[in-house]
Amino acid sequence: MLSQFSSIEALNEGGIACLSDNTHWWIAPGHLKKAAAWAKGATIKIEQNAHNYWKFRLQHVESGELVYAVRSQRQTRRARDAYVDWCD
């Protein structure tokens, strides 16, 4: 996978980031504090990562800060409704 760019739309308390390309990412718990400081609209670079579990890294383009993440899937209606509330 080549690098892709998007921008952050929202980040919930559970560590799920909603990006402008309509993808959702679960941020590694140890990296959540960094990601929480990123402003809405910040440009994010998405790249594959060599880590066994956290298969991707999201990089804040302006600061260069990295966080590890995996794609998040909406699995329940309740979760989907919660995404709609904070992602729109």
| DSSP letter string, 28-48 | PGGGHHHHHTSPTT-EEEEEE
pLDDT per residue over 8-46, tens digit each?
999 988 899 999 998 999 999 999 999 999 999 999 999
Give CA–CA dist 9/1, Å, rounded. 23
pLDDT per residue over 69-82, tens digit each?
999 875 444 545 55
**pTM for this model (two decimals):** 0.79
| DSSP letter string, 36-87 | HTSPTT-EEEEEE--SSS--EEEEETTT--EEEEEE----SHHHHHHHHHHH
